[in-house]
Amino acid sequence: MGLNLEITLGKIKLNSPLILCSGIFGFGNENIKFIDERKIGAIVTKTITYEPWPGNPQPRIYETNYGMINRIGLQNPGVFYFMRNIFPKLRKKYKRVFVSISGRSEKEFVEIIKIVSKKRIDAIELNLSCPNFENEKKMISQSSELTFKIVKSVKNETDIPVIVKLTPNVTEIKEIAISAEEGGADILSLINTIKGLAVDFKKMRVIDGGLSGPSIKPVGLKCVYDVYKVVNIPIIGMGGITCGLDAIEYFLVGASAIGIGSGFYSNPQIIDDIYKTLKNFLRKNKFKSIREMIGLLNEKKENF
Amino acid sequence: MGLNLEITLGKIKLNSPLILCSGIFGFGNENIKFIDERKIGAIVTKTITYEPWPGNPQPRIYETNYGMINRIGLQNPGVFYFMRNIFPKLRKKYKRVFVSISGRSEKEFVEIIKIVSKKRIDAIELNLSCPNFENEKKMISQSSELTFKIVKSVKNETDIPVIVKLTPNVTEIKEIAISAEEGGADILSLINTIKGLAVDFKKMRVIDGGLSGPSIKPVGLKCVYDVYKVVNIPIIGMGGITCGLDAIEYFLVGASAIGIGSGFYSNPQIIDDIYKTLKNFLRKNKFKSIREMIGLLNEKKENF
Amino acid sequence: MERKICKILKNENLSGNYYFLILENNFKKIFKPGNFIHIKIGNNFLRRPFSIALFDREKIGIIYKVVGKGTDELRKKKKGEFLDILGPCGNFFPIYKNKKVCIIGGGTGIAPLIFLSKVLKKYGNDVYFFYGARDKNLIFFKLLLTGINYIFSTDNGSYGKKGNIFDVFKNFEENFQVIYGAGPEILLKKLSIYSENIPVYISVENYMACGMGLCYGCVIRIRKNNGYEYKRVCKDGPVFKASEIIWD
Amino acid sequence: MERKICKILKNENLSGNYYFLILENNFKKIFKPGNFIHIKIGNNFLRRPFSIALFDREKIGIIYKVVGKGTDELRKKKKGEFLDILGPCGNFFPIYKNKKVCIIGGGTGIAPLIFLSKVLKKYGNDVYFFYGARDKNLIFFKLLLTGINYIFSTDNGSYGKKGNIFDVFKNFEENFQVIYGAGPEILLKKLSIYSENIPVYISVENYMACGMGLCYGCVIRIRKNNGYEYKRVCKDGPVFKASEIIWD
Ligand SMILES: Cc1cc2nc3c(=O)[nH]c(=O)nc-3n(C[C@H](O)[C@H](O)[C@H](O)COP(=O)(O)OP(=O)(O)OC[C@H]3O[C@@H](n4cnc5c(N)ncnc54)[C@H](O)[C@@H]3O)c2cc1C
Ligand SMILES: Cc1cc2nc3c(=O)[nH]c(=O)nc-3n(C[C@H](O)[C@H](O)[C@H](O)COP(=O)(O)OP(=O)(O)OC[C@H]3O[C@@H](n4cnc5c(N)ncnc54)[C@H](O)[C@@H]3O)c2cc1C
Ligand SMILES: Cc1cc2nc3c(=O)[nH]c(=O)nc-3n(C[C@H](O)[C@H](O)[C@H](O)COP(=O)(O)O)c2cc1C
Ligand SMILES: Cc1cc2nc3c(=O)[nH]c(=O)nc-3n(C[C@H](O)[C@H](O)[C@H](O)COP(=O)(O)O)c2cc1C
Ligand code: FES
Ligand code: FES
């Protein structure tokens, strides 16, 4: 079968629409047998910050109904260490490497961009769901203004395509998505985890973090569906994908690529499984490429 | 055992902390054997509007991972019909009847309040998650200003306690909750359904509505946990409760009562089950009342 | 309506994707033809509705087709295991006496009609059962009753007349006094045209949540004055007069 | 690390809440004492980690205690059914040769130690196994091996010395060259004091998501210079030098 699963994200060509989500695969340098690089469009690194961060104390994770909550807290060795010691391995291993970054100030964002832009990375993903930004009580992507501002300064600093990853914890994600596009975003990643909380009865404590997994799929689909109608840049859809049909749902409501997240922990062979289902689906429905199913279930674009 | 499950919600005394959520039990006049009125603190009616509403065309519901999406669209016979023909039956059947209402304008809210206030109802619940309010693109409870305004005008009109029900689809629910309290809300109901979407492959269409059920429990808990810290009025906690332990989680993070929602559809004997678990839990932990466990897992109140 | 945990007495493949499930009947209520049960299957949040195909003091039976997650899990349940059942749900077919009646259906629509045919016969009716299937192997001969006039059709002509069961019925010479139908929507729509002259009762299906008349999720449009109102399939139905329904 | 669908050969109650599960070994890799497997159980989103208690060419065995949702579902699995297994996960106990070694543990900590004792014996060590339990019926005699010196204690004195296994060990006359431990955190903490003089290796537990070193959810604090760094129990552990760990 000549069928292939190639897609494009703006100017970036990927040989598969399957993208490994930020934070799910550590720094990407673990030797995980289950990841077949040929079936992967790109890997997004765990979010990297300027200085090394230790991450949060325990508890960091807890299971929920068809999902999990995490509050890892961006444990990472800092951008210098990362670019020097980890990035080169990723570069060799994956055809496309997207580096996820976050900062506590506009200045930090710019500094990090300068450093990562020196190497051949395929895209930068801005994780704008980091709390404690410049002493605001909000995440950046909870404010249209901040989103616009940060995206714009980052775009001024680099020629590398910029992906903007948004939180679903907003009143109207369409507004934020438009601001990101206006700021110059090349691609959007939807969605980051949803604010959630679990109770650990045994230890009588709460785990207050970000919810991911199958239970959030309807929220991810809704965000992609809504945002697709109002922007003209491609969307990487994610949130609760555990099988090929989930991935197809995201394409049908407007995603150009999909992110594999915590579903990998449940089924580490998820990549092979999705890849196979996608091929079969294209064949059965006589689609020639993934592109043909993108947004099929969306009404026409709307003016917002 | 002398143990009882009495609670108070502001000035309202309930002989049980179990409240039947709005919209889950129709208009409350169906003869459902599984509802033991003695174990119910109060019933909230399906949301009533000024004029009769036909509701949405099909599809109206769809199952998701551990949950469901609905877009019933407030099908109801209007406030006049309701108060004349349905309310009297509820009055006889349930010790406490809370009437849920919604309007498309401030004026409509006030009109409805005037009508319902003529009868002996125990509380009014304002469903502020109705879209299409005065041609805004937002729900009322997505705006602090609108929430404040509507709650205030309603409070001016009636002496009946007012419950304000909020959507979780906001950037910061604490802000909205504070506005509701400032507007004069006596009680808060958290949470209404979360915006979500499902794909029906067979019919190749989307179901774009509100997500409920176990998958949203972490979001409901998080909202109650956060809001408890910043308000001084009681909270009815709901979202994904399917068993007694779920209910206890809500109490521990700050709810004074809990709402039984779509979990009833999965297990119509949920009321008996939760009631029993609560009694056992109190006994085992030597709590004398539900009150003693409210907010136990919250840190101190915070200034916001 | 009661909720019971019922023991599975039998769960056998009939043929193709069709299965026959028999449960121990520990309900107090009497079930009537047209009623359905609402079954909790595995971790699916919502229950799944199935028409009663068989009912007596000891047993409740349904015929189901595997079409998705829930029915696929149901298929795997074994004799001796238990299921969480809500029932009897919905309304039922009105039962006439000593009439010449037609029953017509296909697919899973056969399920309630088998139970119906039994009761109609008991009440002295002369019962003609028009039974459509895709193929001979999808006609469940062993579930058929004696004393009923069966007329079969199959899409591929492997048994009975070749073609659609509605066409067979249309060309049939008898004059019926009541018509009962269940099955594909297209068949039910076509039956509506007879309702000007005689009563036509049909059992319709819709996606359901509560199954108890509470959520208003399963509504269909029913004629009212010059317009329509939404009525609940689970509570006001699943049996409606064909003439009342406004099809989409 | 491999993912295999393994057939259950046995799933028996040992006593109380403790069970012994034996799976058909269709892994290519050799498992070592200290390694764990990560099992997908029913509809629980996350897998559940269990130490290897038994390993040979044909079989993989774990001992588990029913403590929650997952283990309760596991208990109900029957011989002949299949489980989705990830393994071998984590690091393993370093194996010395011809030494006088101490193994000490209690509760589910016994599981990896049984496998460990077998391997240590094979390598010519003189093995003393301090085995603590709440009650005699929680000592799994049938899983014990010959050629190993067992010292038992029970909380209620129903078998061996009465009291805590650490106290029994503390008062024991022998000088060990290596100590291996697993079980309750309080025991592991106490063992740390011996690590100034001899190597003390302990297997620790933590709540896990991925089990593959990817999510950084299972970290514990490990000494580094004057401070600490977070290390992953699932990948850098579960076996650590007792001296490295900073207990909460
Ligand atoms: C009153 C009533 C009586 C029924 N009687 C029978 C019967 O006797 N035998 C039988 O085989 N089936 C019957 N059905 C249909 C049966 O309920 C569905 O096939 C079943 O719920 C599908 O469950 P699933 O989990 O396998 O499918 P899902 O995975 O949930 O969905 C698969 C497909 O089935 C459709 N579907 C899901 N639920 C329903 C539903 N409640 N009604 C109609 N379509 C649905 C979905 O839209 C989807 O396209 C009846 C339905 C109703 C409403
Ligand atoms: C490396 C490792 C090896 C282990 N080996 C064994 C073993 O050989 N035998 C055995 O019985 N148990 C072992 N455990 C513990 C076992 O994994 C948990 O008891 C199990 O995951 C609980 O699952 P559950 O669904 O029954 O409990 P849940 O319903 O998930 O939770 C019940 C309680 O168990 C705690 N818990 C849940 N998951 C874990 C976990 N991964 N680690 C520790 N506590 C947890 C929860 O905090 C909760 O308080 C091991 C754990 C680790 C990390
Ligand atoms: C353990 C864990 C760590 C994560 N770390 C990051 C991160 O560092 N940066 C980021 O942008 N998203 C992070 N995420 C969010 C995921 O990239 C993804 O957006 C989210 O999990 C939703 O997808 P899922 O439901 O498929 O898991 C993390 C998620 C998990 C579960
Ligand atoms: C079918 C259905 C109808 C609902 N109708 C209303 C309504 O009319 N008014 C309202 O305030 N909430 C309505 N809700 C929301 C519930 O009251 C509740 O807030 C929500 O379902 C979350 O709880 P749950 O997860 O326990 O179901 C409805 C929910 C469902 C599932
Ligand atoms: S399924 Fe709820 S009203 Fe019919
Ligand atoms: S469980 Fe994910 S890193 Fe250990």
At what angle are helices A173-183 and A144-157 packed, to 10 degrees? 20
Tokens of A36: 């077949």
CA of B208 vs chain C CAs: smallest distance (Å): 14
Q: Say whether both C134 and C207 belong to one domain.
A: yes
Is D94 part of a structural domain of the chain?
no
User: In a mutagenesis test of the B interface, which of C1, C39, C41, C45 is the best target, namely the one with the most B β-carbons within 10 Å?
Assistant: C45
Tell me which of C45, C62, C89 is where a domain ends: C89
Query: Are residue D59 and residue D180 in the same domain, yes or no?
Result: no
Provide the domain limits for residue C218. Answer: 100-246
DSSP annotation of A156 reads H
Q: So what's the pLDDT on residue A2?
A: 55
Domain check: are D22 and D114 in the same one?
no
CATH number at D204 reads 3.40.50.80
Output the pLDDT for position C126: 93
Give the end of a domain, one of D89, D123, D153.
Answer: D89
- The region of weakest confidence among A274-278, B299-303, C19-23, D188-192 is B299-303
pLDDT of residue D195: 86
- What pLDDT digit, counting tens, does each position of B188-214 carry? 999 999 999 999 998 999 999 999 999
Q: Is C208 in Cβ contact with B26 (below 8 Å)?
A: no
| pLDDT of C164 over the 60 cut | yes
Instruction: Flag whether C60 is in a domain.
Output: yes
Q: What is the mean pLDDT of residues B221-247?
A: 97
Is residue D195 located within the same domain as residue D228?
Answer: yes
Chain B residues touching residue A199 (CB < 8 angstroms)? 221, 249, 252-253, 297
Q: Mind listing the pLDDT tens digit for each residue in C57-97?
A: 999 999 999 999 999 999 999 999 999 999 999 999 999 99
Neighbouring subunits of B (3+ Cβ pairs under 8 A)? A, C
What gap in Å lies between CA B277 and CA D28, rounded to an integer? 47
Q: pLDDT exceeding 70 applies to what percent of chain D?
A: 100
Give residue for tokens 């504070």: B178
C94 in any annotated domain: no
Q: What value does the mean pLDDT take over residues B280-294?
A: 94
CATH number at residue D42: 2.40.30.10
State whether residue A230 sits within 8 Å of chain D by CB.
Answer: no
Ligand nearest the Cα of residue D50 is 2
User: Residue C36 domain-assigned?
Assistant: yes
Contacts of C117 (CB under 8 A, 6+ apart): C103, C127, C129, C145, C148
Q: Please tell me the distance in Å from B30's CA to the nearest CA on chain C.
A: 7
* Residues C139 and C24 placed together within one structural domain of the fold: no
Cross-strand bridge partners of residue B53:
B76
Residue ranges in chain A whose pLDDT is less than 70: 1-3, 132, 135, 300-304
**In this predicted structure, what is the pLDDT of residue D196?**
84
Is the model's pTM score more than 0.80? yes
Residues D51 and D87: their CA atoms lie apart, in Å, by 10
Q: Is A293 strand, coil or helix?
A: helix
Shared domain for D130 and D189, answered yes or no, is yes
Same domain flag for C66 and C12? yes
A67 vs B29, residue with greater confidence? A67
Closest by CA to B154, choosing from B144, B145, B164, is B164
Q: Is residue D111 part of a domain?
A: yes
Indicate if B243 belongs to the active site: no
Q: Which of C40, C55, C89 is the last residue of a domain?
A: C89
Whether B26 and C44 lie within 8 Å, measured CB to CB: no
Chain D CB contacts of A214 below 8 Å: 45
Domain assignment present for C95: no
Are D116 and D224 in the same domain? yes
Q: What is the pLDDT of residue B29?
A: 72
Same domain, D63 and D115: no
ipTM value for the complex: 0.95
pLDDT reported for residue A304: 47
Assess whether pLDDT exceeds 80 at residue B132.
Answer: no
Ligand 3 pocket test, pick from A47, A192, A246, A250 with the greatest ligand atom count within 8 Å of Cβ, gives: A192
Question: What whole-number distance in Å separates Cα of residue C113 and Cα of residue C164?
Answer: 18
Q: What is the pLDDT of residue A1?
A: 47
- Residue C248 has a pLDDT of 81
Looking at the CA of residue A47, tell me the nearest atom of ligand 3.
8
pLDDT at B1 > cutoff 50: no
**Secondary structure (3-state) at C174:** coil
pLDDT at B300 over 90: no
- β-bridge pairing C200-203 and C59-65: unpaired
Candidate from B200, B205, B206 with most ligand 1 atoms within 8 A of CB, to mutate: B200
Q: Identify whether residues D220 and D137 lie together within a single domain.
A: yes
Catalytic site residue from B21, B130, B223, B243: B130
- Hey, which residues does B235 pair with through a beta bridge? B188
Residues of B in contact with A225 (CB under 8 A): 197, 206, 208
Look at residue C33 and tell me if it is in a domain: yes
Percent of chain C with pLDDT over 70: 100
What is residue A4's predicted lDDT score, i.e. its pLDDT?
Answer: 85
Chain D partners (3+ C-beta pairs within 8 A)? A, C
Q: Which domains does chain B have, with CATH numbers?
A: 7-57+77-193+213-301 (3.20.20.70)
Flag whether pLDDT at B301 surpasses 70: no
Averaged pLDDT score across all residues of chain C: 94
Mutant choice from B217, B246, B303 vs A, greatest count of A C-beta within 10 A: B217
Query: What are the pLDDT digits (tens) for B69-80?
Result: 999 999 999 999
The pLDDT tens digits for D196-207 are: 889 999 999 999
Q: Are the CB atoms for D9 and D59 separated by under 8 Å?
A: yes
On whether any CB of chain A is under 8 Å from the CB of D177, the answer is no
Q: What is the pLDDT of residues D96-149, one digit of tens each?
A: 999 999 999 999 999 999 999 999 999 999 999 999 999 999 999 999 999 999
- Whether residues C78 and C106 share a domain: the answer is no
Query: Are C170 and C138 found together in one domain?
Result: yes
Distance from CA of B160 to the nearest CA of A (A): 30
Helix (H) or strand (E) run with residue D23 in it: strand D18-24
Q: In what order do the strands lie in the sheet with C54-55?
A: C48-51, C36-40, C82-89, C2-15, C18-24, C59-65, C54-55
* Residue D95 included in any domain: no
How many other C-beta atoms lie within 10 A of the C-beta of residue D7? 15
- Number of domains chain D is built from: 2
